[in-house]
Amino acid sequence: MAVDIVAQDGWNRLNADALAARAGAGKAGIYRRWPSMAALMADVLSQLVLVDPDEDTGTLHGDLTAVLQPWTRPLSAAEQAAAALVGTCHHEPDLREALHRAVVVPLAARLHHLAVRHRVPADREVVLVLVAQALWWERYRTAQPPLTEAAVQQLADDVLLPLARPTLLPTDLP
């Protein structure tokens, strides 16, 4: 219910009155469990899946494209709620940590598995993770319409794939 309120109306509309009304519960019960709305949302975020699980497609290109598949669909209610919290997390340490655990940690883990599977050099993995995170946050920040499959393929080809490939040294050239 908190996800729905934040996704539909924004962080500023989440309060004990709104939550109690939606849940058909008393405000006292809400405050007994969570000392603040930030603590409540941090708890909610810990239960959401905001990054799809790792997918082994058999190729580096396929795996990178799979990471970007969420871009082909509108933001889910959970993603909309997370997106609504991005600006707020600068002032709410509980939310900042919860968003970190809900997005940054699983995205880095997914890309790490991909990097190990495809022997992406560690220095390239670091850059790949940073760029993927930036893309993720930008998607949340702008809530752009979904991309086409072709646009996702091009994003994987033009941005992520070059980052994942080892740099050719002059001695590697023909």
* 87-101, 103-117, 131-145, range with greatest mean pLDDT: 103-117
Tell me how far apart the alpha carbons of residues 159 and 164 are, in angstroms, rounded to a whole number: 9
* Band (167; pLDDT cuts 50, 70, 90): low
For the cut 70, the answer to whether the pLDDT of residue 28 exceeds it is yes
User: What is the per-residue pLDDT for 24?
Assistant: 85
User: What is the per-residue pLDDT for 87?
Assistant: 87
| pLDDT, tens digit (0-9, with 9 covering 90-100), for 12-24 | 999 999 998 988 8
pLDDT (mean) for 57-70 = 95
For the cut 80, the answer to whether the pLDDT of residue 46 exceeds it is yes
Tell me how far apart the alpha carbons of residues 118 and 10 are, in angstroms, rounded to a whole number: 40
User: What is the per-residue pLDDT for 143?
Assistant: 77
User: What is the per-residue pLDDT for 171?
Assistant: 54
Residues with Cβ < 8 Å from 173, sequence gap 6 or more? none
For the cut 80, the answer to whether the pLDDT of residue 53 exceeds it is yes
